[in-house]
Structure 1
Amino acid sequence: MAAAEFWTPEFHVEKRDDGTIVMEHIGHAERLADTIPARLKYWAEVTPDATYLAQRIAGGDWQRLSYGEVFDRVRALGAAFLEMGLSQQRPVLILSENSLDHALVALSAQYVGVPSAAVSTAFSLVSETHDKLTGAAELLQPGLIFTSDGARYAKAIDAVRKPDTEIAATVPSGSMQDIASLAGDPARADAAFTKLSGDMVAKYLFTSGSTGSPKAVINTHDMIARNQDMVADCFRFLRAHPPVVVDWAPWSHTASGNKVFNMVLCNGGSYYIDEGKPTPNLIGETLRNLHEISPTWYFNVPAGYEMLLEEFRKDRALAERFFGKLDLMMYAGAGMAQHIWDGLLAMARDVAGHDVLLTTALGATETGPFALMCTEQQESPGNIGVPARGISLKLVPNEDKLEARLKSPSITAGYYKDVKTTAEHFDEEGFYMLGDALRPTDPDDLTKGFFFDGRIAENFKLATGTWVAVGALRTKLVDHFEGLIRDAVIVGENREELGALLFPADGVTAADLFRLQEKLDRFAAAATGSSNRVRRAVVLTKPPSLDKGEATDKGSINQRAVLRERPAAVFQLYDGPHGVSFH
């Protein structure tokens, strides 16, 4: 892809006496609209018959909704929400996978000034206690709960419903209302739309809980609209190529629920809901969809790309369909191995006959999420790029790291009903403190981008005083085991040497002890010092618990929670000699 199809950024860099660096992308992105619903209205008038949303009907043909159809339904459903008494203070709680009705509910609420909150399905369907779900409901006090399936979500709904809470469903159960039957006077919805202001809450997104209890991040209309201005400014090709997306990532997370979903809408694209996932049991549905739909903008996690790459090598027609119109591949959620990176780039050149940008970025629920983006093809994975237009990046020395902080119109106003936590996350200059450390690709030229350098809160010192960069070490260790482990917890704070608690990949048992030991020995032999030498490990046979906070709803591991919940495993780690054992 030609460089002109992306931004050509210019930066102002300030270096302070205390070592702090402030890097600002000069200028402001062109405004698309004051609100996201305004873009729905725009495309419903300009391209009313174009496909906007699509989902398979019971695994069969695609059900497609045009921009005009969605807009008509949003106006009628939004009016019904107002008749129910929903408002800024009485939001909609969404318990549902991605679906057409889920999208219509969220868009209808936004159109009439009612916040919505899509809560991770794990809180409803995986959790045994529903503690996180009930906490979310107590905080938000919703006036309406929408669910895709009343029977499937029955236990979750029973855990949070109150006498004055309306319940609506795609597949109702008991006394629930059928969401398709709800309709009001569109003129009332239109009147509410004209009164939308930038400081009104559009939605709440709950953090994953990787560093504590999930918090409700306030997303105002102005915050998410300004973030989409930045996306369009970066991806200039969207003007000529409205995005076609085949996406499985859940809308309860900001990456898909904000960035991808709103990107499609703001640029007049088409969103195909992929009910597959990058797992052995569900990847088949993703492959089926990609056999039919050629995406122009594609997102996946590294494990998903590895599965796809294997299929591309076996199925030329699938590869040609995938790469035929592709403008960009993006990954996030974990580090990508070099062999996957090389394989995808080589496949793109072979099939499409040209390079397709493979890239990653940095953002957070609190940043909209779009914040830093890499638009120059790299030789290896990991470069998260530079700040978007309108964003100021502050790098503050913290021990031997550079702690990242951000300021922009797309930063959240804070956490709902939590003034204390909000204040703790902003510094004296109003910069949001990400909690991440960044490492410049080239210290002499910050425009070359940055690498993620770990979570500040995870890092610790050995007894010798040596700092351990936990995030980078964990990524390196997991990658070294080449699929035998799916994650690791680094141990060793105030101890003489490092150890690791390992979560094995599916199917790995004590019979694999020799392979695990061999991998660990090689990793230790290649270490350059005590800060990255791991010679002892315990394989955890019990999976991480969502309810105990060991795992987030995204599947990431909360290091502190695992150490808190598994003292016996830590004792075993240091009680015996070097090597690998099972617990």
Structure 2
Amino acid sequence: MDDLPQWALPKLASPQVELRRRADGATILANALPLGSYPRCLGDLLVANAAARPDQVFLGERTAGPHSPWQTVTWAQALTRVRSLAQALIDLGAGPERPLLLLSGNSIAHALLTLAAMHVGIPAVPVSVAYSLVSRDFAKLELISQQITPGVVFVEQRKPFIPALEAAGLAALPLICGDASPGSPADPGPRARTVERYESLLSLAPSDEVDRRFAQLGPDTIAKVLFTSGSTGLPKGVLNTQRMLCSNQAALARVWPFLGEDAARGRVPVICDWLPWNHTFGANFNFNLILMHGGSLWIDAGKPGPGAFEATLANLRERSPTLYFNVPRGFELLVPELEADAELRERFFANLDLVFYAAAALPQRLWTRLEQLAIAARGQRLLMVSAWGSTETAPCSTAVYWPIERAGVIGNPMPGTEIALIDNGDKQELRVRGPNVTPGYWRDAQLSDAAFDEFGFYRIGDAGKLADPTRPELGLEFDGRVSEDFKLSSGTWVHAGKLRLQAIAACEPLVEDCVLAGHDRAELGLLLFPNLAACRELAGLDRAATAQQVVSHELVRAAVSRALAAHNRQHPSSSTRFARAILLADPPSIDANEITDKGYINQRAVLSHRATLVESLFSDDRDALTVGTVDCS
């Protein structure tokens, strides 16, 4: 790597950590940088930005397709509208125990209603759009509704959400929507409800009650309830307090000081982002970063999926980000476009300070290609970083803020946050304590108590290790989920997270994800979710070919067989060698909790939901399987 050009680095803090041993043998890591002070609430940031940069664009979106004009809201306009919307929520009966439930995806209306709710102490509860528009039984939405008992519901468009509203018991609640006609009556049905047009609420005059409630906000005020994505179980309502959200952004500003210094000189952060606000990454990291530093957020209606990524490309051609955030699947689609389109490449890298990946390790091949693209576009290497945390940690527990050469490093503890490394089998379990950590779960004292150990550390369930035990300042490496690892019948441990990534890499681009099977068995098996587009191309099939036809095609099965056989030659031990595999024709099911809307696979749920298939996979009667079996020898 020494022959590569130097990095173009923004100003970063120097990585320094403090390490101590607890009496019980645990290792405690903390950042040497003090956290310092942080804002009282996110609303104070909105007020400050409206005063400091009233005419600057805060939010922008396209409402009529990927090539339509941008609709924008300035900081001053945002504050005015937030106060009016706060009055509307009070009038409609929302309150600290009757939250605002947001069912639609990212939009200016969604953002301002969220800020309005938080402005007067009403928890905002954004919910995955998939629970309303993709789910078939609406079970998750009904569960959330019963837990939250919302006071007001928001949807961008009413008609698509009517089945979900009815099924989840939300039909009688006041509804705010973008497409209601002025003065429209309540929806017909067995129960009447108030229907308010979003635009009509923007002209309300805020009363003194809005100011009184805003003045009462404090660090312990619940700002949001974010439901976990269900990657390890059913969704849980995580309390997000103002202290969590504000301290986390203050900690990030300490390790990325260029954000504050650039903003003071008038170069504010610019983000073009699709990541959903029902997830902590998009909502608490990205959105709150813009609040913290007075930047501009261009809402990307695209996402890394079939038929939707074109919108992302159209937006990036017009809005050059200073910071770019995505998940590995997003980079998988973006990198070939950057390689093929010089104009897009120039626009993308023109103002970029860093690239941030999260949700999973970025494959090294993508890392290398991104680095080469940056060098071609700007003559210097680009800083690529990551972080680690969860919905319960607002979201960052660690962050990378120095140049790293490869994916997998998750950084040092954030200022003010402590990380405990506790021996757990042949791994080290990570636990977290700090002002960014949730006090617990919405109306569930038992679950809240169980989430913390006797020292007050949150049990996040992940494993990690020092990248270099002799130099702890070089950060931690992610080492999988403690609960996902299992033993073969021989007693040998299988490190599922690491092996899953190896399987995907071995089969790329034919496999999107996979689940390992083999608990208490003699050998390992694989359930493979295919990349149908790549498999169709390999087999010469058109888009009309069914998933069954794709996974049973001889060329597809042969290619995957060769890939797994090559992996096995390099990893011959029983805990790393795949003895049996099958390509699945049925995609992971959100209703069965097998996958989240952001693409996380729930290994436990897949194995449980497809238990009969797993038994067939390990059966000596190979005729028990239908299509998609793969020879791994």
CA distance in 2 between counterparts of 1:358 and 1:277 reads 21
Larger CA deviation: 388-397 vs 224-233? 224-233
Amino acid in structure 2 at the alignment position of 1:273: I
Q: Equivalent residue for 2:305?
A: 279
Report the TM-score when normalising by structure 2.
Answer: 0.89
Q: 1:87 aligns with which of 95, 120, 132?
A: 95
Larger CA deviation: 367-376 vs 548-557? 548-557
Larger CA deviation: 186-195 vs 242-251? 186-195
Q: Equivalent residue for 1:67?
A: 75
CA distance in 2 between counterparts of 1:31 and 1:445 reads 29
Whether 1:253 and 2:279 are equivalent positions in the alignment is yes
Amino acid in structure 2 at the alignment position of 1:109: A
Query: How far is the alpha carbon of 1:33 from its aligned partner?
Result: 1.6
Q: Equivalent residue for 1:431?
A: 457
Q: Equivalent residue for 1:111?
A: 119
Conservation of the 8 A alpha-carbon contact between 1:80 and 1:184:
no
CA distance in 2 between counterparts of 1:553 and 1:4 reads 33
Whether 1:533 and 2:559 are equivalent positions in the alignment is no
Q: Equivalent residue for 1:412?
A: 438
Amino acid in structure 2 at the alignment position of 1:123: Y
Amino acid in structure 1 at the alignment position of 2:326: N
Q: 1:166 aligns with which of 155, 159, 174?
A: 174
Conservation of the 8 A alpha-carbon contact between 1:230 and 1:370:
no
Conservation of the 8 A alpha-carbon contact between 1:94 and 1:145:
yes
CA distance in 2 between counterparts of 1:571 and 1:141 reads 41
CA distance in 2 between counterparts of 1:382 and 1:578 reads 38
The C-alpha deviation readout for 1:491-524, integer Å capped at 9, x for no partner, is 1111111111111112432211111111111111
Q: Equivalent residue for 2:562?
A: 518
- Going from structure 1 to structure 2, the CA distance change for 1:505 and 1:31 (only over 3 Å counts) comes to same
Alignment of 1:533-572 (within 5 A): 533-572=577-616
Alignment of 1:342-381 (within 5 A): 342-381=368-407
CA distance in 1 between counterparts of 2:460 and 2:428 reads 11
Conservation of the 8 A alpha-carbon contact between 2:139 and 2:168:
no
- Going from structure 1 to structure 2, the CA distance change for 1:356 and 1:187 (only over 3 Å counts) comes to farther
Amino acid in structure 1 at the alignment position of 2:327: V
CA distance in 2 between counterparts of 1:575 and 1:84 reads 59
Whether 1:388 and 2:388 are equivalent positions in the alignment is no
Query: How far is the alpha carbon of 1:185 from its aligned partner?
Result: 2.0
Conservation of the 8 A alpha-carbon contact between 1:224 and 1:410:
yes
Conservation of the 8 A alpha-carbon contact between 1:26 and 1:390:
no
Whether 1:177 and 2:187 are equivalent positions in the alignment is no
- Going from structure 1 to structure 2, the CA distance change for 1:186 and 1:71 (only over 3 Å counts) comes to farther
- Going from structure 1 to structure 2, the CA distance change for 1:317 and 1:423 (only over 3 Å counts) comes to same
CA distance in 2 between counterparts of 1:36 and 1:480 reads 45
CA distance in 2 between counterparts of 1:31 and 1:64 reads 32
Whether 1:582 and 2:620 are equivalent positions in the alignment is no
Q: Give the alignment's Cα RMSD to 1 decimal.
A: 1.8
Whether 1:326 and 2:355 are equivalent positions in the alignment is no
The C-alpha deviation readout for 1:543-581, integer Å capped at 9, x for no partner, is 111111112232211111111111221122112489996
Query: How far is the alpha carbon of 1:163 from its aligned partner?
Result: 6.8
Query: How far is the alpha carbon of 1:303 from its aligned partner?
Result: 2.2
Amino acid in structure 1 at the alignment position of 2:71: Q
The C-alpha deviation readout for 1:439-482, integer Å capped at 9, x for no partner, is 22112222111221111111111111111111111111111101
The SS at the match of 2:297 is strand
Conservation of the 8 A alpha-carbon contact between 1:435 and 1:456:
yes
Q: Equivalent residue for 1:205?
A: 226
The C-alpha deviation readout for 1:106-152, integer Å capped at 9, x for no partner, is 00111111111000001001111111101111111111001011011
Query: How far is the alpha carbon of 1:531 from its aligned partner?
Result: 1.4
The C-alpha deviation readout for 1:293-316, integer Å capped at 9, x for no partner, is 110011112222132221112211
Amino acid in structure 2 at the alignment position of 1:582: G
Whether 1:299 and 2:318 are equivalent positions in the alignment is no
Query: How far is the alpha carbon of 1:186 from its aligned partner?
Result: 4.8
Query: How far is the alpha carbon of 1:27 from its aligned partner?
Result: 4.1
Amino acid in structure 2 at the alignment position of 1:139: Q
CA distance in 1 between counterparts of 2:442 and 2:310 reads 39
Conservation of the 8 A alpha-carbon contact between 1:246 and 1:290:
yes
Query: How far is the alpha carbon of 1:61 from its aligned partner?
Result: 0.6
- Going from structure 1 to structure 2, the CA distance change for 1:542 and 1:19 (only over 3 Å counts) comes to same
CA distance in 1 between counterparts of 2:146 and 2:612 reads 35
The C-alpha deviation readout for 1:138-173, integer Å capped at 9, x for no partner, is 111111001011011111122234575211101127
Conservation of the 8 A alpha-carbon contact between 1:299 and 1:330:
yes
Amino acid in structure 2 at the alignment position of 1:337: P
Larger CA deviation: 401-410 vs 178-187? 178-187
Query: How far is the alpha carbon of 1:105 from its aligned partner?
Result: 0.5
CA distance in 1 between counterparts of 2:170 and 2:131 reads 18
Report the TM-score when normalising by structure 1.
Answer: 0.97
Conservation of the 8 A alpha-carbon contact between 1:32 and 1:266:
no
Query: How far is the alpha carbon of 1:376 from its aligned partner?
Result: 2.1
CA distance in 1 between counterparts of 2:402 and 2:592 reads 41
Identity %: 38
Q: Equivalent residue for 2:544?
A: none
Q: Give unpaired runs (5+ residues) of structure 1.
A: none
Amino acid in structure 2 at the alignment position of 1:31: S
The SS at the match of 1:413 is coil
Conservation of the 8 A alpha-carbon contact between 2:54 and 2:76:
yes
Query: How far is the alpha carbon of 1:354 from its aligned partner?
Result: 2.2
Q: Equivalent residue for 1:231?
A: 252
Conservation of the 8 A alpha-carbon contact between 2:17 and 2:472:
no
Conservation of the 8 A alpha-carbon contact between 1:520 and 1:535:
no
Conservation of the 8 A alpha-carbon contact between 1:218 and 1:414:
yes
The C-alpha deviation readout for 1:212-252, integer Å capped at 9, x for no partner, is 11000001111111111112112211120421000001000
Whether 1:36 and 2:55 are equivalent positions in the alignment is no
Amino acid in structure 1 at the alignment position of 2:47: K
Conservation of the 8 A alpha-carbon contact between 2:8 and 2:381:
no
CA distance in 2 between counterparts of 1:151 and 1:394 reads 49
CA distance in 2 between counterparts of 1:224 and 1:362 reads 15
Query: How far is the alpha carbon of 1:16 from its aligned partner?
Result: 4.1
Query: How far is the alpha carbon of 1:287 from its aligned partner?
Result: 1.0
Q: Equivalent residue for 1:485?
A: 511
Q: Equivalent residue for 2:16?
A: 10
Aligned residues: 583
Whether 1:154 and 2:162 are equivalent positions in the alignment is yes
Q: 2:335 aligns with which of 304, 309, 315?
A: 309
CA distance in 2 between counterparts of 1:407 and 1:93 reads 29
The C-alpha deviation readout for 1:185-222, integer Å capped at 9, x for no partner, is 25432222111111111110000111111000001111
Larger CA deviation: 508-517 vs 404-413? 508-517
Whether 1:459 and 2:485 are equivalent positions in the alignment is yes
Amino acid in structure 1 at the alignment position of 2:585: T
Conservation of the 8 A alpha-carbon contact between 1:117 and 1:203:
yes
CA distance in 2 between counterparts of 1:443 and 1:27 reads 20
Amino acid in structure 1 at the alignment position of 2:51: E
CA distance in 1 between counterparts of 2:171 and 2:313 reads 44
Query: How far is the alpha carbon of 1:29 from its aligned partner?
Result: 2.3
Conservation of the 8 A alpha-carbon contact between 2:9 and 2:353:
no
Amino acid in structure 1 at the alignment position of 2:628: F
Q: Equivalent residue for 2:216?
A: 195
Amino acid in structure 2 at the alignment position of 1:26: A
Query: How far is the alpha carbon of 1:85 from its aligned partner?
Result: 2.5
The SS at the match of 1:426 is coil
